[in-house]
Amino acid sequence: MNRFQQTASIVNKLVTPVLRLPVLSSLLGRSIMVLRYTGRTSGKTFELPVGYRRDGDDVIVGVAMPDKKRWWRNFTGEGGPVTMVTDGVTQTGHAVSRRDDDGQVLVRIAVDADR
């Protein structure tokens, strides 16, 4: 793990519990959520705070500096299941990541209708 990844890991561990606090989740929950997923290879469950925006019924997560991050690669190809906690509400969905011609990566999450 490089220095960037080590720093991001520490920040993620500090921010994730804060997003669960009712007072702060209502302020931050409009643009930051907790994303939970299971690693394709490791089978481990991961949680990380990510910035997001809504696009109709979908949720879009932009991946800043995607070449320095690995998490989004779990959603290439057919994608995979995720759990999101936004503003204290837990939802499930299916995430698919795509890299455009400029190298930018977006993860589109189709939120499950039953929630």
State whether residue 56 is helix, strand or coil: coil
- 100 to 34, 66, 92: CA distances (angstroms): 24, 12, 25
pLDDT (tens digit per residue) in 37-65 = 999 999 999 999 999 999 999 999 999 99
Number of domains in the chain: 1
d(CA 22, CA 92): 20
pLDDT (tens digit per residue) in 64-86 = 999 999 999 999 999 999 999 88
pLDDT of residue 47: 92
CA dihedral (100, 102, 47, 59) positive or negative: negative
pLDDT of residue 25: 55
- What CATH number should be reported for the domain holding residue 16? 2.30.110.10
In this structure, of 16-20, 55-59, 102-106, the range with the lowest mean pLDDT score is 16-20
The conformation of residue 51, written as its DSSP 8-state character, comes to E
The parent domain of residue 19 ranges over 3-111
State whether residue 94 is helix, strand or coil: strand
Tokens of 81: 């299941």
d(CA 39, CA 82): 10
